[in-house]
Structure 1
Amino acid sequence: MSEFTADELARIMRQYAGVTDPPPLDGEQRDTDFAELGCDSLGLIEVKARIETEYHVTIPENGLSTPAELMDYVNEQQKAKR
């Protein structure tokens, strides 16, 4: 499986959380809370569920409240499976 990137996260946020125009998530926005990026708690649940399906990882319900935390976690889980 390929690395989980900011572009992939932005795509999933658009498709499953209704965030029509997510900011670039590879700059300073990496450390911005999802709520401030326009992704409410229900949207974040949808995002995490889609990532679990596409990347075959289990994401904890609590924590991982920024794009950086989520991307790092998914990539770490993928490396552990190799």
Structure 2
Amino acid sequence: MSDQLDQLQKAKAKSDKDKVSIQRELEDLHAAMDQESKGKQDAERFSKQLELQVAELQAKCDEQTRQLHDFSNLKNRINSENAD
């Protein structure tokens, strides 16, 4: 009977030790998950900022292309008028 009690106490101690270990691991995983989630949010925010910058630069590029086309047409018209 004493042996059985001793074995049960050892099994309980091992079980408690395993429980603590699993709880620590779970806490570590939660912390890692929180960190990954924050990193993902930061990356998404940065991505949106870059998308806005790309859109602004594309708009500027389109405007400069339009101006270049207008100036080219004006140059051709002036050259044509001067040739007459």
TM-score tier, shorter chain, comes to under 0.3
Q: Which has the larger radius of gyration?
A: 2
Is the helix fraction higher in 1 or 2? 2
Q: TM-score, normalised by structure 2?
A: 0.23
Q: Which has the higher contact order (CA 8 A, sep 6+)?
A: 1
